[in-house]
């Protein structure tokens, strides 16, 4: 894909997002000043494909709460997204046919391809922060972001459990009460929930900071505000506290590479 792009972020509430500013700066640096990146708040995903076509999107990012819900609406998943079970980046491929051939043949003129750049971005961001004692982890949350975190930790050789307010029936999930008991041995804690995100900056997913210490690495996927209450309290206990801004930038860069270097946006037959 070459030339200027029309991109977007879709989600339910996007007031916290830094993505638009980041991509605008990226476009300027790449000499793509006519490219756009819009924030599109959707109450649900009905009419998604119509919106993509009406807006002429070349691709889009996906955030809370649609990273898993969008999968049935896509035409295919690339292997990383399929392995994770969540999507945060979509490429839009368009088929040009003459004389209505697309509709007559049953092929959709627009193909939506799901990717996940969250997992690789977290892997790249976490790797230089890890110490030999970070062998076991707790992932707070069981949604799409937590699945990407689990994928990354598996590839880093770190055993992990998911922590949920309602763990019953969820694979490898434990309660927060159990997580507090395991805090002494699980020295990497990743917050993959939106708890503590702007505008709810007074919230924290971890209610017992006194259980943390200098050997803990606390990583919060939330980047607005920075630091979150979770990270402030962790740092006060001596833990290494890292926000999600570097991960945000990395996943955005990986998504951008897909949009400009992936399959051609125009498929001809």
CA gap 174, 162 in Å, rounded: 6
Using CA of residue 230, residue 231, residue 232, residue 235, what is the dihedral sign?
positive
Active site residue 67: yes
What are the angstrom distances between the C-alpha of 151 and each of 43, 147, 159, 168, 178? 29, 6, 11, 21, 22
Q: Indicate which residue of 67, 131, 147, 170 is catalytic.
A: 67
Tracing tokens 């125009």 back to the chain, one arrives at 266
CA gap 9, 207 in Å, rounded: 31
Residues contacting 23, CB < 8 A, separation 6+: 7, 35, 37, 252, 256
Strands 6-11 and 36-41, by their bridges, are parallel
Residues contacting 149, CB < 8 A, separation 6+: 119, 122, 139, 160, 190, 192, 221
Phi, psi for residue 257 in degrees, rounded to 5: -60, -35
Using CA of residue 176, residue 178, residue 179, residue 183, what is the dihedral sign?
positive
CA gap 265, 123 in Å, rounded: 28
Residues with a catalytic annotation lie at 67
């Amino acid at each position: 894909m070459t030339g200027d792009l029309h991109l977007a972020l879709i989600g339910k509430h996007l007031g916290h997002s830094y993505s638009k500013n980041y991509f605008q700066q990226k476009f300027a640096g790449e000499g793509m000043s006519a490219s756009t990146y819009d924030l599109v708040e959707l109450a649900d995903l009905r009419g998604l494909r119509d919106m993509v076509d009406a807006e002429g999107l070349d691709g889009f990012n996906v955030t809370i709460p649609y990273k898993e819900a969008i999968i049935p609406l896509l035409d295919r998943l690339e292997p990383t997204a399929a392995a994770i079970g969540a999507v945060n980046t979509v490429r839009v491929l368009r088929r040009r046919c003459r004389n209505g051939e697309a509709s007559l043949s049953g092929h959709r003129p627009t193909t939506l391809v799901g990717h996940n750049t969250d997992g690789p971005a977290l892997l790249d961001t976490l790797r230089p922060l890890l110490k030999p004692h970070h062998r076991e982890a707790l992932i707070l949350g069981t949604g799409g972001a937590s699945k990407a975190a689990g994928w990354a930790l598996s590839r880093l050789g770190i055993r992990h459990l998911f922590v949920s307010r309602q763990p019953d029936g969820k694979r490898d999930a434990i309660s927060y009460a159990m997580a507090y008991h395991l805090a002494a041995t699980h020295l990497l804690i990743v917050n993959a929930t939106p708890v503590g995100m702007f505008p709810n900056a007074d919230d924290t997913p971890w209610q017992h900071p006194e259980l943390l210490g200098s050997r803990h690495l606390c990583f919060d996927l939330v980047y607005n505000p920075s630091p979150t209450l979770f990270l402030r309290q962790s740092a006060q206990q001596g833990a290494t506290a890292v926000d999600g801004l570097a991960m945000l930038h990395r996943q955005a860069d990986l998504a951008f590479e897909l949009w400009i270097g992936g399959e051609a946006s125009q498929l001809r037959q």
